[in-house]
A = this chain, B = another copy of it.
Amino acid sequence: MTAKEGREVHALTIDYGQRHRKEIEAAKKVAKHFGVRSHKVLRIDLADIAGSALTDRNVRVPTQRTLEEMGRGIPVTYVPARNTIFLGLALAYGESIDADEIVIAANWQDSSGYPDCRPEFYQAFEEVARLGTKRGVEGRPIKIVTPLIAMTKADIVRKGEELGVPWRLTWSCYLGGEKACGVCDSCQLRLKGFKEAGVKDPLPYARRAQTL
């Protein structure tokens, strides 16, 4: 949600042992750009309990996959129960600062097929949030809000343009190179979105996938 809409925004970033620091640095810059009320970075070492190509440098992040290949099941970049943990932490933090909503930018429509990006997952978690907290018992449950869930990447780019998102400060690439790789699933889906929206992505890319 934007501060524009009259909401007081507190940002929470989870440093879960990602193989690179790029997205955490990007989160800090974007939070600062929009002047959020506070931005907290919470450290938890998921690499220790939940192996994934996103936390383990020994697992190769797939690149140059076609959209058809991406459509075939859950990729190795899946981190077990990652969004459940993120939401649990956000719920604890949200309740402690008396927040009314947890907003998470999960995207199902145009995603890599992560189960914890599905709308029904967020509906189920909202029920957990209602039943498992003091706020819920008091009849003021914290809502789980997923504004991007049903949008295509192109829709998201268009919405971002409308809201003045500073794309140059953002990071989507699964790898942590100086430039975005351009060929991992995340880069490809991002570039496809920009292309379809007719917007130029200002981020420098090391390569461009053959498939786009």
Contact = CB atoms under 8 A, between A and B. Distances in A.
Q: Which 3 A-B pairs have the closest CB atoms?
A: A80-B95, A81-B92, A50-B92
Nearest to A132: B116
Contacts of A137: 74, 115
Interface string A179-211: 000000000000000000000000000000000
17 contacts: A40-B48, A44-B44, A50-B92, A79-B92, A80-B91, A80-B92, A80-B95, A80-B133, A81-B92, A84-B91, A84-B133, A88-B88, A115-B131, A116-B131, A116-B132, A124-B127, A124-B128
Bin the interface of chain A by size.
Answer: 35 or more
B131 A124 contact: yes
A4 B5 CA distance: 58
Interface string A57-98: 000000000000000001000111111110111011101100
Given A92-B46, A137-B115, A132 B40 contact: no
A97 to B, nearest CB: 9
Nearest to A48: B42
Given A12-B49, A81-B89, 16 more contacts: A40-B49, A44-B44, A49-B96, A50-B92, A50-B95, A74-B134, A80-B133, A81-B91, A81-B92, A84-B87, A116-B132, A116-B133, A118-B131, A121-B132, A125-B128, A127-B127
